[in-house]
Amino acid sequence: MNVLSKSFYQYRRISKILKLFLIIAGPGIIVMVADNDAGGITTYAATGAKYGYDLIWFLLLLGPIAYFIQEMTVRLGAVTKRGHAEAIFDAFGRFWGWFSFFDLGLTNQLTLITEFIGMTAALSIFHFPPVLTVVIVIILMGLMVLQGKYWTWEKLAIFFCLINLIYIPAAFMVHPSVTEILKSGFIPHFPTGNPGDLFFFLMANVGTTIAPWMVFFQQSSVVDKGMKEKDIPWGQFDTIVGAFFTVVVAIFCVILTATVLRGVDIESAAQAAQMLMGIDKYVGVFLAIGLFDAGFLGAICISLATSWAIGEVFGWAHSLNYKVREAPWFYAYYFLSLVIAGIVVLWPGAPLVLITLFVQVIATTLLPAALVFLILLLNNKELMGEYKNNTWQNVVNISIVIALIILSTGYALSALFPNIFK
Partner 1 sequence: MNDSNDSFNKPNSFLESIHEINEKYKTPRIHMTRMVRISLVALRVYLLVMLLILAYKFATLVIH
Residues near partner 1 (CB under 8 A) are 89-94, 96-97, 99, 150, 223-224, 226, 311, 313-319, 321-322, 326-329, 361, 364-365, 368-369, 372, 375-377, 379-380, 382-383, 405, 409, 412-413, 416-417
Nearer to partner 1, 288 or 320 (CB): 320
| Nearest distance in Å: CB 93, partner 1 | 4
Burial (CB < 10 A; 0-12, 13-18, 19+), residue 82, is buried
Nearer to partner 1, 240 or 404 (CB): 404
Nearer to partner 1, 302 or 363 (CB): 363
**CA 305, CA 213: separation in Å to the nearest integer?**
6
| Nearest distance in Å: CB 195, partner 1 | 23
Nearer to partner 1, 44 or 308 (CB): 308
Nearer to partner 1, 91 or 163 (CB): 91
**CA 237, CA 221: separation in Å to the nearest integer?**
16
Q: Which residues contact 112 (CB under 8 A, 6 or more apart)?
A: 298, 299, 302, 303, 337, 338, 340, 341
Nearer to partner 1, 124 or 380 (CB): 380
| Nearest distance in Å: CB 46, partner 1 | 23
Nearer to partner 1, 246 or 337 (CB): 337
| Nearest distance in Å: CB 215, partner 1 | 15
| Nearest distance in Å: CB 10, partner 1 | 36
Nearer to partner 1, 254 or 401 (CB): 401
Nearer to partner 1, 195 or 418 (CB): 418
Task: Write out the DSSP string of 152-180.
Answer: HHHHHHHHHHHHGGGHHHHHHHT---HHH
| Nearest distance in Å: CB 39, partner 1 | 19
Other beta carbons less than 10 A from residue 265's beta carbon = 9
Buried b (16+ CB within 10 A) or exposed e, 234-258: bbbebbbbbbebbbbbbbbbbbbbb
| Nearest distance in Å: CB 92, partner 1 | 5
| Nearest distance in Å: CB 2, partner 1 | 47
Other beta carbons less than 10 A from residue 9's beta carbon = 10
Pick from 151, 160, 104: nearest CA to 319 = 151
**CA 286, CA 282: separation in Å to the nearest integer?**
6
Please give, one letter per residue, the 3-state secondary structure of 257-317.
HHHHCCCCCCCCHHHHHHHHHHHCHHHHHHHHHHHHHHHHHHHHHHHHHHHHHHHHHHCCC
**CA 70, CA 379: separation in Å to the nearest integer?**
15
**CA 70, CA 66: separation in Å to the nearest integer?**
6
| Nearest distance in Å: CB 374, partner 1 | 11
**CA 62, CA 106: separation in Å to the nearest integer?**
26
**CA 311, CA 75: separation in Å to the nearest integer?**
21
Kindly tell me the sign of the dihedral angle through the C-alpha atoms of 371, 376, 382, 388.
Answer: positive
Interior angle at CA 387, CA 380 and CA 376, nearest 5: 30
Nearer to partner 1, 50 or 75 (CB): 75
| Nearest distance in Å: CB 244, partner 1 | 29
| Nearest distance in Å: CB 420, partner 1 | 11
Nearer to partner 1, 327 or 345 (CB): 327
